[in-house]
Amino acid sequence: MYTTRSYGAIWPLLFGLLLTACDELKLEKTKTSLKNKETSSFFHPWTENGLSYGEDVSSYIPVYSGVYVSGGGKLNLAITLSVRNTDFSYPLLVKKVSYYNTAGQLIENYLKTPHLLEPMASTHFFVTQADARGGVGANFIVTWATDKRANAPIIEAVMAGSTGTQGMSFISSGREMKVSEKEEEK
């Protein structure tokens, strides 16, 4: 038969495991920035260097800065927008990255100038879990161009969020769309 004393050595171990399992996710306390600050040898501002590009193409990427969960509560999600050049030979010209909220209002234009994404390289734009401005119907519009012979890019978003011991993540793929005159003016 077990006595209280035989469990004495187990309690500190169980208590330590419990504390470790319940560590709070530490989110950055810095101001939320939606802009990709990345300027590098593979994603850099475009200088007209004689390369010719075809017509502009826009991709629509549905994203969610929050989703409703059981009981009607809302879970905020972080968003990582990934733009991937799938061509081995030709750079991709990323002209615009625009973020819209559920009401269709522009929240942010990410690029002040077009950027070149080198062959087979990828870049990303991040929205923190604490930034819920987009809502459940948010979206990105990415406008890009490439040489006629090049592959189209893959543009996807990964949404992830957690609270307590619960978490979720999922992806959303971009779809080519017709560009309206209103979007071209922005």
Beta-carbon count within 10 A of 81 CB: 25
**CB 58 within 8 Å of CB 126:** no
In a domain, residue 36? The reply is no
Q: How confident is the model over 91-98, as a mean pLDDT?
A: 95
pTM: 0.74
| Euclidean distance between CA atoms 97 and 5, whole angstroms | 64
In a domain, residue 7? The reply is no
* CA end-to-end distance (rounded Å), the chain: 77
Dihedral of CA atoms 75, 80, 86, 87 in degrees, nearest 10, equals 160
pLDDT in tens, 128-184: 999 999 999 999 999 999 988 999 999 999 999 988 888 899 999 999 998 765 555
Which domain covers residue 112, as residue numbers? 57-185
**CB 139 within 8 Å of CB 127:** no
The sign one gets for the Cα dihedral 60, 80, 32, 72 is positive
In a domain, residue 47? The reply is no
Task: State which H helix or E strand residue 80 sits in.
Answer: strand 78-84
In a domain, residue 152? The reply is yes
The number of domains in the chain is 1
pLDDT in tens, 21-60: 444 444 443 333 434 454 567 776 666 766 667 789 999 9
In a domain, residue 112? The reply is yes
Q: Is the pLDDT of residue 127 over 70?
A: yes
Phi, psi of 16 (to 5 degrees): -65, -40
Q: What is the CATH number of the domain that holds 72?
A: 2.60.290.11
Max intra-chain CA distance, the chain: 85
Output the pLDDT for position 181. 55
Which tokens sit at 91? 């750079």
Which tokens sit at 98? 């625009």
In a domain, residue 67? The reply is yes
| Euclidean distance between CA atoms 54 and 143, whole angstroms | 12
| Euclidean distance between CA atoms 11 and 156, whole angstroms | 47
In a domain, residue 155? The reply is yes
Task: State which H helix or E strand residue 177 sits in.
Answer: strand 175-177
| Euclidean distance between CA atoms 163 and 166, whole angstroms | 6
Which tokens sit at 118? 């080198």
